[in-house]
Structure 1
Amino acid sequence: MVLERKIYKKLLEWKNDSQGKKALMIEGARRIGKSTICEEFGKNEYETYILIDFAKKDKEIETYFKSHLNDLDTFFMLLQTHFGVRLTERKSLIIFDEVQMFPQARAAIKYLVADGRFDYLETGSLISIRENVKNIVIPSEERHINMYPLDFEEFAVALGEQLLVEYIKRCFEKKEPLERSMHNQAMILFQQYMLVGGMPMPVVSFIENKKDFTEADKEKRDILRLYREDIMKIDARYRSKVLAIFDQIPGFLSQHEKRVVFKQLQDGSYADQYEETFFWLSDSMISNECFLCNDPNVGLSLNETRGYVKCYMGDTGLLLSHAFDENELLEDEVYKQILNGKLQINEGMLYENVIAQMLVANGHKLYFYNHYNEEKHRNDIEIDFIISNNSKLKYKMFPIEVKSGKRYSTVSLNNFMKKYKERIGAGYIIHPRNFMIREDIICIPPYMTIML
């Protein structure tokens, strides 16, 4: 089953715009579908293509890069003979898959692009981790693009719900609620997305097995095992810390504030000791970081506080499987409770994680806001996410609160909007109910997050 991915359009734009002047590097987590989309693109958009999988450690291929880059005629002749594929100038594509496994190939991009005969796609995981770029010059002839799990819209299309997505978009643009039965249908679809997630293999398994959550869960646990194996291969200096954070993500997200509390990991530990840890997890795209920003102004990143961080899983379906073992999912009827909107334990964790995932897929960096009241000895304003329009001249920020239940207070959001009213574009509540506007707050159902 071939899944329709939005990144395909970006690949077409690169092909039409670059005209062989730059290679395109697709970065993403393991099992995100990078190789699949590249092969699909090669089949559809070129006369021929070659995919070189550097994870296979083919010594013969590696020899070509080491010995024949000074004679590209011979280099391409050897590639064509090895793969049994005829390359046609300006009509063929060469794909370097998992290129971080053989850095010399990435360094060769400079010369291959300058040669101008063919187009080049690269795929990689953990590309900028220091171990993978030692002793090579990073080519300037390389353009980068991130690939994420399927977003809600891609998931809906995979399940044949394209018309429902179009209706959701129209209602958001018109600022009106969906018809009640359609809202219920969209919420069921969203709940399925929250349970399955957006990793391609679990999605395909879910569809091909007639919406069997258990079969999708098996695929997700295979991916989690791969992540753990990757962690065990990294530098021993920070391996145990990465593993500690990875294992504790569900625990931290199940707490009220949802941020990482370093003292819970180890007595006496503090944020600076985990800098490499978060670099690894975010760079591998296993997690999505969300930093505290207590003076939200032009350029949220200028005012971020890295000592206070929330660490969301890059895919909410993986978070669910990470948080519960197989028996818990079935015995506690977790699937049934979520589909019926009745899960009490960890419901906020899943809701907030999936909204973070959807915002990141839309290109947003994640920030949150807390205001501590000295008199009350507690936070009196808590904002889950702040996103911005990234305008340098007409900067506006958009605070977002995520509510997993139908009853909630808007006191925090009201106070935040009052405090920073000159900087606010709009305030959002994301809740399970239909679209509505309450005073100055736009309340949207979670499936409309694709429009933010």
Structure 2
Amino acid sequence: MLYLERKIDTFLIHWKETKNKSPLIVKGARQVGKTESILRFARQQYASVIYINFVEEPKYKTITENGYSAKEIIKMISLLDPSKRFIPGNTVIIFDELQEFPDIATSLKFFKIDNRFDVICSGSMLGIQYKKIESNSVGYKTDYEMHSLDFEEFLWARGYDHSIRTTLLNHMVTQTPFSPGILSTFFSLFMDFCILGGMPAVVRDYIANQTFEGSLNTQRQLLADYREDVRKYASGVDQTRILNVFEHIPVQLAKDNKKFQISKVAPNARFKDYRGCIEWLHDAGIINICYCLSFPELPLKGNYESTKYKIYMKDTGLLVAMLDEEAQDDLRVNKNLGVYKGALYENIVAEALVKSGYDLYYYKKENATLEEDFFVRTKNSLVPVEVKSTNNKSKSLHTLLNSRTYPDIRFGIKLIRGNIGHAEQILTFPYFCTFLLKEYLQASAGSPSTIDA
């Protein structure tokens, strides 16, 4: 089976080479490639790989019966399967589907103290159990969150090497527009990525067949698996309400006002009854939440209203698969992402920002037309990011830049289906550059001087 290179590959090598490292916990939604990447790394780097899946082999839930010490757990594993070899300094123990047995996290402290074996934990639904896992292993673990493929990983799958990152970034930093041929090529690749999303099973089929054939069926099966996860793992929260929120995401993103409204989910629905449902979907790695800022100023954390938010799918391809049949045809045949009032463009930008390590914030001024899609920050500046489905004037962006009311805002970024450019303190980039925004802002020292040249 074709292996898709992932960013976690490099991270795992660095983790292994770290002296006195802690056990690793890899979080992420189902089917994003966690187990595949971990096992590939393990088989290449260790003489012995001990793989335990608590869903497929529930008998291993008994390995803590005599305590949580590394010695006792290894003894219990060996009793259950004498063929497993524990070679000090050259063995990795992988505990998969950790959400089925979060108690094993208590042992991570003792494995770190023991220091003879490396330990990696993973699972598709870790988020919903993470408070318990955190309390059992605080101070004795390293966390890594894995997502579906981002656009850079998609480019690797299409045959581009790692130098493509530097090439695109240099264009951004030097404000050098792309040639028409390059611009057209990357927009075509980006449109494919938006429609497919980054789920490995979908991308792998696309690479193998060079068509969208079968991608929708695979995406719909993944969505069915998500719905099944709700039924299996949602305890203490109303499953019907969770599914109602889930099904309403594309409907509400299609509105001009993309703020998610609980009142539209079901008759007489109230926020207090649904809050736990939204948190569950977020913790399960299915959605991204974008909170409304109380006021566009620094700092961002704590400066938002927890009852006002937009909801985006973590993988835009899965959002596409939730759309109606007519929109599907328009997207896959004509690659028209303008349907749903720009919702797909916003979703893909939100996805890219989260995969780059950003939290999501927007701003909507009460009783006014002023609204900005996203905000990121540099060391000293708040940077509004506007996503335009058409390259028309950015009224809200100009208001934020030209008013003395917002002193933390010195320049803005506009993402369009067009080329690199700048005018009036606004930097313009093609959508496909979004995955590089964080690195661009660091490379340019977060200074608007780059657009004054």
Give, in whole Å, the separation in 2 of the partners of 1:236 and 1:81: 34
2:331 corresponds to which residue?
334
Determine if contact 1:109/1:139 at 8 Å carries over to the other structure. no
Rate the CA distance shift 1:224–1:436 in 2: closer, same or farther, 3 A: same
SS of alignment partner, residue 37 of structure 2: helix
Q: How does 1:316-335 map to 2 (within 5 A)?
A: 316-325=316-325, 328=326, 332-335=329-332
Give, in whole Å, the separation in 1 of the partners of 2:137 and 2:413: 41
Report the CA distance between 1:344 and its aligned residue: 4.3
Determine if contact 1:396/1:425 at 8 Å carries over to the other structure. yes
Determine if contact 1:80/1:87 at 8 Å carries over to the other structure. no
Gaps (5+ residues) in structure 1?
Answer: 374-378
1:195 corresponds to which residue?
195
Rate the CA distance shift 1:105–1:47 in 2: closer, same or farther, 3 A: same
1:344-395 CA distances to partner (integer Å, 9 max, x unpaired)? Answer: 422611111000000000000000011134xxxxx32110001113x4xxx3
Q: How does 1:45-124 map to 2 (within 5 A)?
A: 45-59=45-59, 61-67=60-66, 69=68, 72=71, 75-76=74-75, 78-79=77-78, 82=81, 84-124=83-123
* Equivalences, count: 433
Report the CA distance between 1:99 and its aligned residue: 0.8
Report the CA distance between 1:189 and its aligned residue: 0.5
2:447 corresponds to which residue?
none
1:29 corresponds to which residue?
29
SS of alignment partner, residue 367 of structure 1: strand
Identity %: 29
Rate the CA distance shift 1:148–1:451 in 2: closer, same or farther, 3 A: same
Give, in whole Å, the separation in 1 of the partners of 2:355 and 2:135: 31
Rate the CA distance shift 1:135–1:443 in 2: closer, same or farther, 3 A: closer
Q: How does 1:426-445 map to 2 (within 5 A)?
A: 426-445=411-430
- Partner residue of 2:375 out of 380, 386, 393: 386
1:352 corresponds to which residue?
346
SS of alignment partner, residue 302 of structure 1: coil
1:175-195 CA distances to partner (integer Å, 9 max, x unpaired)? Answer: 111111100000000000001
1:145-194 CA distances to partner (integer Å, 9 max, x unpaired)? Answer: 11111110100110113365443222112111111110000000000000
Give, in whole Å, the separation in 2 of the partners of 1:36 and 1:110: 26
Rate the CA distance shift 1:80–1:171 in 2: closer, same or farther, 3 A: farther
Give, in whole Å, the separation in 2 of the partners of 1:58 and 1:235: 20
Give, in whole Å, the separation in 2 of the partners of 1:316 and 1:292: 21
| CA RMSD, 1 decimal | 2.3
Give, in whole Å, the separation in 1 of the partners of 2:29 and 2:111: 26
SS of alignment partner, residue 214 of structure 2: helix
Q: How does 1:32-431 map to 2 (within 5 A)?
A: 32-59=32-59, 61-67=60-66, 69=68, 72=71, 75-76=74-75, 78-79=77-78, 82=81, 84-129=83-128, 133=132, 137-162=136-161, 164-210=164-210, 212-233=211-232, 234-235=234-235, 237-325=237-325, 328=326, 332-338=329-335, 342=336, 344-346=338-340, 348-373=342-367, 379-389=368-378, 391=379, 395-406=380-391, 408-419=392-403, 421-431=406-416
1:417-440 CA distances to partner (integer Å, 9 max, x unpaired)? Answer: 223553125301100011111221
1:207-251 CA distances to partner (integer Å, 9 max, x unpaired)? Answer: 1122x2131222211111110001112125322221111000000
Give, in whole Å, the separation in 2 of the partners of 1:76 and 1:185: 57
Report the CA distance between 1:297 and its aligned residue: 2.4
SS of alignment partner, residue 214 of structure 1: coil
* More moved, 87-96 vs 104-113: 104-113
TM-score for both structures, normalised by structure 2: 0.89
Give, in whole Å, the separation in 1 of the partners of 2:50 and 2:70: 19
Give, in whole Å, the separation in 1 of the partners of 2:271 and 2:402: 32
Rate the CA distance shift 1:18–1:366 in 2: closer, same or farther, 3 A: farther
Give, in whole Å, the separation in 2 of the partners of 1:209 and 1:196: 13
Give, in whole Å, the separation in 2 of the partners of 1:441 and 1:132: 42
Give, in whole Å, the separation in 1 of the partners of 2:180 and 2:170: 15
Report the CA distance between 1:305 and its aligned residue: 0.6
Report the CA distance between 1:68 and its aligned residue: 6.2
1:376 corresponds to which residue?
none
Give, in whole Å, the separation in 2 of the partners of 1:262 and 1:70: 47
Give, in whole Å, the separation in 1 of the partners of 2:11 and 2:436: 19
Report the CA distance between 1:131 and its aligned residue: 9.2
Query: What amino acid maps onto 2:350 in structure 1?
Result: A
Report the CA distance between 1:46 and its aligned residue: 2.0
Determine if contact 1:95/1:121 at 8 Å carries over to the other structure. yes
Give, in whole Å, the separation in 2 of the partners of 1:91 and 1:39: 15
